[in-house]
Chain A
Amino acid sequence: MRGADYVIKRVGFAIVTVFVAVTINFALFRLAPGSAITDLSRVPHATPELRLALKKQFGLDKSKGEQYVIYLGQLARGNLGVSFANEQPVWSNLRTALVNTLPMVFLGTIFSIVIGTLTGVIAAWRRGTPVEAATVTTALGFYSMPTHWLGLMLVIIFAGVLPTGGMTNEFLLNPSFWTHVKDLASHIALPSLTLGLVLYGEYTLIVRSAMLETLGEDYILTARAKGLRPWRIVRQHALRNAMLPIVTLIALSLGYIVAGAILIETVFSWPGIGRAVYEAVLQRDYPMLQGAFLLLTISVVFFNLVADLLYFKLDPRITE
């Protein structure tokens, strides 16, 4: 029964966190200097009537408490407001952007998990050798680079070979299916690679630490004493036990990856959620910014929950 308790507790925490985030979200934007009105009524000859009409339109004539209740009610119905910039519903803007972000982020993450696990395992297994030093130094190097700068370096290196901006070649008119796929693949390569390289450094360090820990355990010594082949020890004895911290940390980091895409998408003009945030900042499009922030927070909370539940699934001893 304690297991059910744990799950309920974690889910409850996630729900409360989302609620806290929603409240912060509301408060932050009401604290903003000026309002939509001061901006929108900056047209020449703006009359007090126009001001009042705008105030009414955006619901700013009501008290803060009323506004909060209305905000919650609208959120519950999935209404995130209307973007100042293109007057489309924020949610439909965000959905389009998210659909573009996910494949890019997904490819990069897969790349980093595969390469990171591999180099992490090698580094731990070859502890104290130049192989370890080389892998760890490389990983630390990528880990230290500013994300957007790494992206710019790739632009310099691959300029002319791969497209460095946008998602499709706009000059391709009615391309055949395969040309279109090839075009997309070439455009997705650099942003995904940037994300992959940045995360690869981090995952290598995580996997190495986790592996070093399990490799120090007595059962590994036993396995060695039994004369098992190294590969088998790594795969069946060490890696399985190291999976616990690795899986949870990766699940945790997934939530932040979408947030991290802001920098990458800005560099490569990738029309995703990060780019939407960047443009919302430039245009002071508060509803978009608010919606995007909420979406990003929910994604982090969600992956946190996934990490908690995975942790529990992988190690049933955990109940606290």
Chain B
Amino acid sequence: MSEVAVEAAAARGGVMWSTIRRQPSATIGATVLVVIAVAAILAPWIAPYGVHTQVGPVFGQPSWSHPLGLDDGGIDMVTLLMWGARISLVVGFAATLVSMAIGGSVGVLAGYFGGRTDTVLMRITDYFIVIPDVPLMIVVAAIWGPSLFHIVIVIGILLWTGTARVLRAQVKSVRERVYVKRARALGAGHTRIILRHVLPQVAPLLIANTVLTVAVAIFDETALSFLGLGDPSRTSLGKVIENAFQRAAISSGAWWAIVPPGALVALIILACSLVGGALEDSLNPRLRVAHLSARTFRLRPLVGRGDAL
């Protein structure tokens, strides 16, 4: 990589960090995400109790030793939340990885090659956009049987459309830039141009999209778990909510078993939206020019979509 390219890469990294530092909402979001992620990663070492050990009565009340009380199995809620966040984040990131791989490839190939490839790939994308994710996820999870791996694959296969569209638009403009044309004139192959010249240019946008997709993936996992389609052997945050609901935490008056896990999911999704939104705003040039702005509104995952336009 030439010196110029290295500098350019550093500058792009700089854009991301400065965006996060400059925008207070993004700073807050990033901090929250880091704190939750660290607590989740270190759960096996720093969790106050065992995740399978009964430490008190069923739905034990919050106390000094158990600030968030106990769940229906007498397990410490703080411990449960840390472990739950761990599984939820793993599902979120793994599913996002799958969806980034698909969406990234489709977007880059469609934008770079244009013409027929573009038409075919975008037509396929159009179909995937219309299929309602949540019902299809339910159907597939119900047929394949509940397991973490299935959930990751199902969510991943259905969430890539937004990424593909955003990237395609960006790659289309990068492709026309002079240095890409020069590289081509110098005899560089498609693979080289895509990997060396196009991909680094669109990478930050891909990252912004990743953060937003993680939020949707975590939401979807929570929804699937609630419908009894989660992995029964792994306690994700969605599973914690489902357990509390099924074991009548509400009628037992045990609000502490059901309020914190959902609030934590909301907090993760909120933080991801803040960071991802701020990054996308500062990276996607189309969002800054009023009359060109085709803002990709993110429809709520309730309705099963990661994107709408």
| Chain A interface size range | 35 or more
> Judging by beta carbons under 8 Å apart, are B266 and A263 in contact?
no
Q: Is residue A74 contacting chain B, with contact meaning CB distance below 8 A? A: no
**Stretch of B38-46, B170-178, B301-309 on the interface side:** B301-309
> Judging by beta carbons under 8 Å apart, are A147 and B130 in contact?
no
> Judging by beta carbons under 8 Å apart, are A17 and B226 in contact?
no
Assembled-state Cα–Cα distance A73/B42 (Å): 57
The count of A-to-B residue pairs whose CB atoms sit within 8 angstroms is 167
**Given A17-B130, A199-B300, do A297 and B135 touch, yes or no (CB 8 Å)?**
yes
Instruction: Please report which residues of chain B, range 219-266, place their CB below 8 angstroms from some CB of chain A when the two chains form the complex.
Output: 219, 222-223, 226-229, 238, 241, 245, 250, 255, 258-259, 261-262, 265-266
Q: Cβ of B138: which chain A residues have Cβ within 8 Å of it?
A: 262, 277, 281, 289
> Judging by beta carbons under 8 Å apart, are B134 and A28 in contact?
no
Task: Encode B114-139 as 1/0 by CB contact (under 8 A) with A.
Answer: 00000000000011001110111011
Instruction: Please report which residues of chain B, range 41-95, place their CB below 8 angstroms from some CB of chain A when the two chains form the complex.
Output: none
Q: Is residue A266 contacting chain B, with contact meaning CB distance below 8 A? A: yes
Contact of B132 among A28, A144, A149, A296 (CB under 8 A): A296
Q: Is residue A51 contacting chain B, with contact meaning CB distance below 8 A? A: no
Assembled-state Cα–Cα distance A301/B223 (Å): 23
Residues of B within 8 A of A (CB): 126-127, 130-132, 134-136, 138-140, 142-145, 215, 219, 222-223, 226-229, 238, 241, 245, 250, 255, 258-259, 261-262, 265-267, 269-270, 273-274, 290-291, 293, 295, 297, 299-300, 302-305, 308-309
The 4 closest A-B pairs by CB, nearest first: A149-B262, A256-B303, A144-B270, A144-B269
- 20 A-B pairs with CB atoms under 8 Å apart are A21-B131, A144-B273, A145-B266, A146-B222, A146-B226, A146-B238, A156-B255, A216-B290, A245-B309, A249-B308, A252-B308, A252-B309, A256-B304, A257-B303, A259-B303, A262-B134, A263-B226, A289-B139, A297-B132, A304-B130
Known: A249-B297, A300-B132. 19 other contacts (CB 8 A): A141-B266, A143-B273, A144-B266, A148-B223, A149-B266, A153-B259, A155-B250, A199-B303, A213-B290, A213-B293, A217-B291, A257-B303, A259-B304, A260-B300, A263-B302, A278-B227, A290-B139, A301-B130, A304-B130
Residues of A within 8 A of B (CB): 13, 17, 20-21, 24, 28-29, 31-33, 140-141, 143-150, 152-153, 155-156, 159, 198-199, 201-202, 205-206, 209-210, 213, 216-217, 245, 248-249, 252-253, 255-257, 259-260, 262-263, 266-267, 277-278, 281-282, 284, 289-290, 292-293, 296-297, 300-301, 304
